[in-house]
Amino acid sequence: MPAALADQTWVLTGAAGRIGTSLRPSLAEHVGRLRLVDRAPVTPEYDGEESLVADLRERAATSEAIAGADGVVHLGGLSDEAPFDDLCAINILGTFNVVEAARRAGVARFVYASSNRVTGFYPVSAVVGPDVPTRPDSLYAVSKVAGEALGSLYADKFDLSFVSVRIGSFEDAPLDRRHLSTWLSPRDCASAFLAAMRAPGVKYAAFYAVSANTRGWWDLAPGYRLGFRPVDNAEDYAGAIDPAAAQPSNDHQGGTNASPEHTLPHL
């Protein structure tokens, strides 16, 4: 895939969400046209933006949203723990609808918003990369593992170029002790997605989108190979984190998300 995006049309699903809203200026600056897709109307603000309302659970609407696109950045879905039926309908079936629509439309690159939660049950003492088996810390994480598996299948079977971006803790600044290892700044988030969009010669790849944190747990080399160079560091904010308000630590990288109490209310 060419590094230049200026002549291409890209679809951004979940454009009304927190990360989608943050990414829009950078994506709009680099692509020729940016189609904003969400269940709620999104008002175009930047040159080249257009908006389309679509529910990704509906295949016809999803196909219309993806038609004519060169690439897809798929953020649409539930972003936290929820009843599994809802996660299946939105995060798994919805992702399938987008991936299948992309295949039918001849999309050249699919960028999938995965999550660091897919390996949340590894111990904090481990350095984890995308080459190790997944150990999801929640039902939400299971839905993200399913999305990565769909991407692997479509890359192998249908030659859809697919990049899974395992997003860290996306915040303006770190909020707790866990974030000192997992923080992803808005600037580094935009850099990660642009690298995933541009990287040449990719069949299937996965990497952790996380800032260059001194206390980081994840192997950054796979992202480096795709051109992702994070520049921010959560350690710069360590002195401002109130220990009394910090999320309790435990032996799992998923923190409190790895506890039974996180999931039991949804069962």
Catalytic residues: 140
SS3 string of 137-191?
CCHHHHHHHHHHHHHHHHHHHHCCCEEEEEECEECCCCCCCCHHHHEECHHHHHH
Cα gap 263→265, rounded to integer Å: 6
SS3 247: coil
Residues 14 and 75 sit within 8 Å (Cβ to Cβ) = yes
Three-state DSSP at 50 gives strand
Q: CA-CA distance, 93 to 54, in Å (whole number)?
A: 14
Locate 77 and state its tokens. Answer: 């879905």
CA distances from 108 to 105, 192, 207, 245 (A): 9, 18, 19, 45
- Write the DSSP symbol of residue 123: B
Strands 71-74 and 9-13: parallel
